[in-house]
């Protein structure tokens, strides 16, 4: 077999590997837990929506949550049982905040739902295979959790030429991929075959570090006649990072803001590929994974095949946890993992390791001392960055310089902090700086958006004003024109009237009709006002209007030659008037609400005690009135 | 003194004005903008470009004034006032150009832009050129331009250093102008090391 | 005597020439508008809330360009003051507000009490309230900037300002202490 040329990693560190703690025994099967907590977001992308309700009975592998969004992965029930709760539950995150999850009380039967394996994937089309992978809810099991189906669907003009199978597992303590490759090499090969069928790459490289001789042997013997290359890499951290691995195997550097797919390269973790095999060949969705349980606080460190959603405490107790010996529980490895604040968090699709560390094993770091500018951090950075400069700019919050020094290319591997002689927690500075920059960018985008809406609104109001102005002018012109015409006609009518004293002309009649109807409308409006706000002025106004309406009506009747009733004057049909009692009730309710609001406003504006007392008195009066009306209604009807 | 080629003479003037007899750190002229505008590199670059522009134009114009107005009419005693007139006009012109090309730079430089008028380097170069009557027109302009380059070099270097000092862990008594002065003094010592660079 | 005459003439001629040059330059290099105000406006949070004392963000930006202080924007808070200080090369000052910096808020209409008067819709500067006359009004949360302008006009006082809750997705790492601020003996005595 020809050896594939490798380009050694620039930088990198050699922390103690501590893999022999957990890779001495085969994969154990974790016992079925009593409760499974299945979070709705276990991947990069949009959270899923639950498709089941509390009390539903679910079968093992049944779809329980899905998202309509493209960048998402559906979630399946890891075992059969009853859904007992859907809502915020503990989640493996360093903040300890809760996340929505579906809680299933297992019934112990572990009954599968009906599975639909693909009989022969060699003849299936790529889209059928991708659909199976998507339905199985597979996301990257190596740590990031990106939905696999999207990674496997590159753009048509960017075909994948090199498929890299990532079996390096460079982080200390973690051995999940190691034992997976030893025991499931055959499934791994078939999984790679499926991927090859979808992507049709030119080269397939299986990268394994040289500290896993059994895994290398197992994978090599499972190769048979396939032309895949098994590439053995020298052990160094972090050779397993996607961009670092690509650089080691191909010598190509993935540019700053670009994806490996744009270079025609795709990377997949061995665990993800075995899950692809299970989904296609056995029809099983992603409901379990291999997790390393390790650390000196465990009596029996091991690798377990555990169901997604198993509470961490169950697994740790299965591995013989010595609680008084454990000083920290870390999700992930000692370099890139984070401390879990509680033990009841569930295992999710990306949980590759639970490290129960004793105080002696992972002591608390000494307090940070000022940077002595030794430059060790820049020597070990696998991404060729300048951690020292990033540190100073992060301290000074100089976002421009941080971005000029490619802060977002940092993979947060922790190699720089590992070698720092001053024990500065460098990665924490970078994480916080990245978060600040993202937050500022969001705020800026939001402000831009708000500015656009504001300017659009100003424009809209301005256009409305213009339109109103134009209409007003047009109306005024029309009125002036009609007045002129009327004056002309009136002059004519005068002459006509001289010959026709009895009965007015049609125009005259129309005018009288209009006056009469307008008087009626004004009277009705005033009456309505009077009903809601009964004041003396309004009373007087109403009287006046009534008189003028009467006069107009009389004038009209006098002028009308025919006997059309005055009722025809009212053109508009009268609105169905509310009964007096209902009107009064409505009025009282509105009155109370307004007085209450006025009181609250006065309180907020800190008015003096007298004003407050007066408003309070008005409010109580209004409330009493309302109560009385309510009582009469109840009694009366 | 052997006759030197005209090109190498210009090179001598350049090296001398930029490094050996740097106007800011060796001749100690123009210290006001040096300390006042060196907090940010962008501002420093802006001001140094403006000053270089002023220096070149001012040395050209003052050379012309000296040789075609002052000397023929024997009114050399008007040198100072006419040079200042020339410099003031050039600075005013530069202000307008800066305001047009970058209003933000104009705003940020603030008072330091018109203060180029009182920058000792500008009047200094003009007077030095007038005193060295053997200078040709080209040599005088190159002297002015090189003075500007030297000023820019030192200003930008100092600004870059001050930006880093601003976020470094400076002890309380030294923070602010004090550490700036100390740094300037050390830079000056370094530049004086260039003094043996050219041997005539 | 002639020397005086010549020197005066020389200076006058020089001044005339330079005056002409400057006059020409003044016309040629005229600056229209106020480009600085645009750059300042781009840094303001665009809530148009008026808490700075100006009727909107653009008027405040123009005021800052004319020389007003930069510490009046409450929704922008410390971050905006720092950004303005960096842009204008002035010293950042603490926020000049009564209650200090408040967390991000959004408006919420208690629908049971809403009477459909549209007064809040007319008040919202970014049209973030959905509704019509005599129909239910509701706040579009993603568009609401928390400017507070809708609370006053409501005649039945049914609008609350509630702070935006922090979710797992909006949580972020805190910057650790500057190195050297905590020494070993301090930490031991603390724990």
Average pLDDT over residues A2-24: 90
Å between B75 CA and nearest CA of chain C = 6
Q: Which residue shows structure tokens 């303005």? A: C84
pLDDT number for residue C3? 87
Confidence band, pLDDT 50/70/90 cuts, at residue A632: low
Which band of pLDDT confidence, cut at 50, 70 and 90, is reported for residue C79? confident
- The confidence score (pLDDT) of residue A204 equals 95
Is the model's pLDDT at A564 over the cut of 50?
Answer: no
pLDDT of residue C145: 86
Instruction: Look over chain C and give the mean of its residue pLDDT values, rounded to a whole number.
Output: 84
Would you state the pLDDT for residue A535? 67
Distance from A627 to chain C by nearest Cα, in Å?
Answer: 18
Q: Quick check: helix, strand or coil at residue C82?
A: helix
Mean pLDDT of A492-520: 71
For residues B177-192, b (16+ Cβ closer than 10 Å) or e, as one string?
A: eebbeebbeebeeebe
What pLDDT was estimated at residue A451?
Answer: 87
User: Residues with Cβ < 8 Å from A424, sequence gap 6 or more?
Assistant: A368, A369, A371, A391, A417, C179
Q: Which CATH architecture has domain C103-166?
A: 2-Layer Sandwich (3.30)
Q: Is A429's pLDDT higher than 90?
A: yes
Q: Which residue has the higher pLDDT, C12 or A576?
A: C12
**Tell me, what's the pLDDT at A568?**
43
Q: Is A375 left (phi over 0), alpha (psi -120 to 50) or beta?
A: left
What is the predicted pLDDT for the residue at C73? 84
Instruction: Kindly report which listed range (A108-122, A126-140, A204-218, C98-112) carries the lowest average pLDDT score.
Output: C98-112
Question: Among A93, A368, A439, whose Cβ lies nearest the Cβ of C168?
Answer: A93
Matching residue, tokens 């102005």? A469
Query: Is A198's pLDDT higher than 80?
Result: yes
Distance CA A112, CA A109 (A): 9
- Residue A573 pLDDT exceeds 60: no
Mean pLDDT across chain A, nearest whole number? 87
CA-wise closest residue to A35 among A82, A70, A91 = A82
Task: Examine the pLDDT at A566 and tell me if it is beyond 70.
Answer: no
> Across the interface, do A594 and C156 touch by the CB < 8 Å criterion?
yes
Q: Is B169 on the interface with A (CB under 8 A)?
A: yes
pLDDT tens digits for chain B (200 residues)? 455 567 788 898 999 999 999 999 999 998 888 888 878 888 899 999 999 999 999 999 999 999 998 888 888 899 999 999 999 999 999 999 888 888 888 888 888 888 899 889 999 999 999 998 888 899 999 999 999 999 999 999 999 999 888 888 788 899 888 999 999 999 999 999 888 877 65
Q: Where are the domains of chain B?
A: 13-191
Residues of C in contact with A91 (CB under 8 A): 168
- pLDDT reading at A119 higher than 70: yes
Average pLDDT over residues A608-637: 74
The H-or-E segment that residue A436 falls in is helix A426-499
**Chain C contact for B97 (CB, 8 A cutoff):** yes
Q: Is the CB of C179 inside 8 Å of chain A's CB atoms?
A: yes
Over residues A77-94, mean pLDDT: 93
Q: Give the residue extent of every domain in chain C.
A: 35-88, 103-166
Angle at A430 between CA A429 and CA A432, to 5 degrees: 65
C148 or C23: which leads in pLDDT: C23
- 8 Å CB contact of C29 and B96: yes
Chains that touch A (3 or more CB pairs under 8 A): B, C
Find the residue in A nearest to C174 (Cα). A432
> How is A439-451 classified by DSSP, letter by letter?
HHHHHHHHHHHHH
Please answer yes or no on whether A443 and C143 come within 8 Å at the CB atom: no
Residue A637 clears pLDDT 70, i.e. is over it: no
Show the tokens assigned to C59: 């008027």
Give the whole-angstrom CA distance, residue A175 versus residue A171: 9
Q: What is the CATH number of domain C35-88?
A: 1.10.15.40
State the pLDDT at residue A487: 87
pLDDT digits (tens, 9 = 90+) for A29-42: 999 999 999 999 98
Q: What is the average pLDDT across A205-210?
A: 95
CB spacing of C179 vs A454 below 8 angstroms: no
Phi and psi at residue A230, to the nearest 5°: -95, 110
Task: Return the pLDDT at A633.
Answer: 55
Residues of A in contact with B167 (CB under 8 A): 392-393, 395-396, 398
**Maximum mean pLDDT: which of A16-25, C75-84, C99-108:** A16-25
Which of A232-236, A499-503, A545-549, B5-9: highest mean pLDDT?
Answer: A232-236
Measured between alpha carbons, how far is residue A214 from residues A28, A181, A290, A301 in Å? 18, 9, 18, 19
pTM of the model: 0.76
Sign of the alpha-carbon torsion through C179, C184, C189, C191: positive
Phi, psi of C108 (to 5 degrees): -140, 125
Q: How confident is the model at residue A536 (pLDDT cuts 50, 70, 90)?
A: low
Chain C residue numbers touching B73 (CB-CB < 8 A): 6-7, 10
Asked if the Cβ–Cβ distance from C10 to B75 is below 8 Å, we say yes
Q: A421 near A51, Cβ under 8 Å? A: no
């Amino acid at each position: 077999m020809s050896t594939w040329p490798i380009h050694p990693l620039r930088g990198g560190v050699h922390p103690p590997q501590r893999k022999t703690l957990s890779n001495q025994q085969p994969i154990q099967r974790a016992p079925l837990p009593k409760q499974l907590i299945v979070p709705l977001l276990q991947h990069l992308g949009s959270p899923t929506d639950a498709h089941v309700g509390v009390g539903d009975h679910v079968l093992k592998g049944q779809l329980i949550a899905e998202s309509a969004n493209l960048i998402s992965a559906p979630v399946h029930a890891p075992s059969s049982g009853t859904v007992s709760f859907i809502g915020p539950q503990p989640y493996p995150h360093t903040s300890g905040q809760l996340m929505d999850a579906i809680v299933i009380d297992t019934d112990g039967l572990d009954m599968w739902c009906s599975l639909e394996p693909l009989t022969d994937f060699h003849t299936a089309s790529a889209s059928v295979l991708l659909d199976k992978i998507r339905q199985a809810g597979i996301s990257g099991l190596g740590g990031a959790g990106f939905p696999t189906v999207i990674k496997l669907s590159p753009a048509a003009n960017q075909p994948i030429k090199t498929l890299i199978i990532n079996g390096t597992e460079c982080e200390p303590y973690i051995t999940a991929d190691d034992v997976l490759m030893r025991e499931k090499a055959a499934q791994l090969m078939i999984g790679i075959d499926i991927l090859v069928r979808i992507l049709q790459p030119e080269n397939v490289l299986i990268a394994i570090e040289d500290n896993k001789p059994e895994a290398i042997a197992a994978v090599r013997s499972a190769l048979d006649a396939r032309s895949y290359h098994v590439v053995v890499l020298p052990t160094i951290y972090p050779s397993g990072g996607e961009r670092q691995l690509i650089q080691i195997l191909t010598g190509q550097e993935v540019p700053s803001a670009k994806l490996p797919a744009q270079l025609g390269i795709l990377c997949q973790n061995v665990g993800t590929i075995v899950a692809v095999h299970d989904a296609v060949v056995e029809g099983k969705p992603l409901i379990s994974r291999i997790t390393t349980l390790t650390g000196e606080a465990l009596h029996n460190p091991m690798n377990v095949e555990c169901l997604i959603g198993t509470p961490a405490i169950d697994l740790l107790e299965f591995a013989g946890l010595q609680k008084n010996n454990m000083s920290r529980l870390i999700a992930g490895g000692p370099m890139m993992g984070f401390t879990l604040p509680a033990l009841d968090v569930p295992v999710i699709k990306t949980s590759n390791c639970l490290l129960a560390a004793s105080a002696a094993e992972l002591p608390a770091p000494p307090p940070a001392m000022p940077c002595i500018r030794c430059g060790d951090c820049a020597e070990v950075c696998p991404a060729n960055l300048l951690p020292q400069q990033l540190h100073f700019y992060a301290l000074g919050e100089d976002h421009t310089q941080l971005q000029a020094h490619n802060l977002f290319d940092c993979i947060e591997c922790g190699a720089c902090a590992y070698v720092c002689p001053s024990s500065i927690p460098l990665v924490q500075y970078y994480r916080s700086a990245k978060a600040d920059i993202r937050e500022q960018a969001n705020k800026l985008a939001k402000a831009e958006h708000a500015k656009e809406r504001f300017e659009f609104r100003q424009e809209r109001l301005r256009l409305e004003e213009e339109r109103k102005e134009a209409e007003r002018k047009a109306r005024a012109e029309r009125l002036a024109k009609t007045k002129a015409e009327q004056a002309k006609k009136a002059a004519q009518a005068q002459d006509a009237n001289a010959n026709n004293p009895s009965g007015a002309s049609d125009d005259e009649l129309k005018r009288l009709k209009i006056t009469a109807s307008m008087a009626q409308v004004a009277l009705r409006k005033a009456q309505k006002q009077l009903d809601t706000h009964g004041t003396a002025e309004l009373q007087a106004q109403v009287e006046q209007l009534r008189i003028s309406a009467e006069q107009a009506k009389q004038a009209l009747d006098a002028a009308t030659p025919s006997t059309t009733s005055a009722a025809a004057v009212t053109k508009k049909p009268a609105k169905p008037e509310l009964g007096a009692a209902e009107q009064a009730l409505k009025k009282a309710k509105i009155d109370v609400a307004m007085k209450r609001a006025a009181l609250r406003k006065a309180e907020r504006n800190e008015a003096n005690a007298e004003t407050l007392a007066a408003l309070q008195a008005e409010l109580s009066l209004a409330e009493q009135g309302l109560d009385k009306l309510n009582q009469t209604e109840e009694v009366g009807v | 003194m052997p006759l030197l080629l005209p090109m190498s003479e210009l090179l001598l003037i350049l090296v001398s004005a930029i490094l050996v007899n740097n106007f800011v750190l060796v001749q100690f002229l123009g210290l006001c903008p040096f300390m006042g505008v060196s907090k940010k590199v962008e501002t420093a670059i802006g001001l140094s470009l403006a000053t270089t522009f002023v220096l070149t134009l001012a040395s050209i114009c003052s050379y012309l004034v000296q040789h075609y107005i002052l000397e023929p009419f024997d009114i050399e005693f008007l040198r100072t006032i006419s040079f200042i007139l020339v410099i003031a006009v050039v600075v005013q012109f530069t202000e307008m150009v800066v305001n047009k090309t970058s209003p933000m730079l104009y705003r940020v430089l603030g008072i330091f832009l018109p203060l180029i008028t009182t920058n000792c380097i500008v009047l200094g170069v003009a007077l030095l050129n007038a005193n060295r009557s053997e200078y040709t027109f080209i040599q005088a302009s190159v002297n002015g331009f090189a003075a500007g380059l030297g000023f820019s070099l030192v200003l930008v270097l100092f600004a870059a250093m001050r930006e880093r000092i601003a976020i470094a862990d400076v002890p309380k008594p030294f923070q602010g102008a004090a550490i700036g002065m100390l740094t300037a003094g050390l830079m000056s010592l370094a530049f004086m090391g260039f003094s043996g660079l050219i041997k005539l | 005597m002639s020397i005086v005459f010549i020197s005066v003439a020389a200076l006058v001629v020089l001044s005339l020439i330079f005056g002409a040059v400057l006059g020409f330059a003044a016309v040629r290099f005229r600056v229209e508008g106020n480009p600085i105000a645009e750059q300042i406006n781009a840094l303001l949070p665009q809530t148009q809330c008026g808490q700075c004392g100006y009727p909107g963000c653009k008027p405040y930006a123009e005021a800052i360009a004319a020389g007003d202080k930069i510490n009046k924007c409450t929704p922008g808070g410390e971050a905006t003051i720092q950004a303005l200080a960096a842009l204008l090369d002035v010293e950042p000052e603490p926020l000049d507000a009564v209650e200090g910096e408040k967390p991000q808020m959004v408006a919420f209409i208690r629908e049971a009490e809403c009477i459909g008067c549209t007064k809040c819709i007319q008040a919202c500067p970014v049209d973030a309230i959905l509704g019509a006359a005599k129909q239910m009004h509701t706040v579009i949360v993603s568009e609401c900037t928390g400017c507070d302008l809708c609370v006053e006009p409501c005649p039945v006082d049914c609008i609350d300002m509630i702070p935006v809750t922090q979710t797992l997705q909006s949580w972020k790492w805190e910057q650790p202490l500057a190195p050297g601020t905590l020494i070993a003996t301090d930490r031991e005595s603390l724990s």
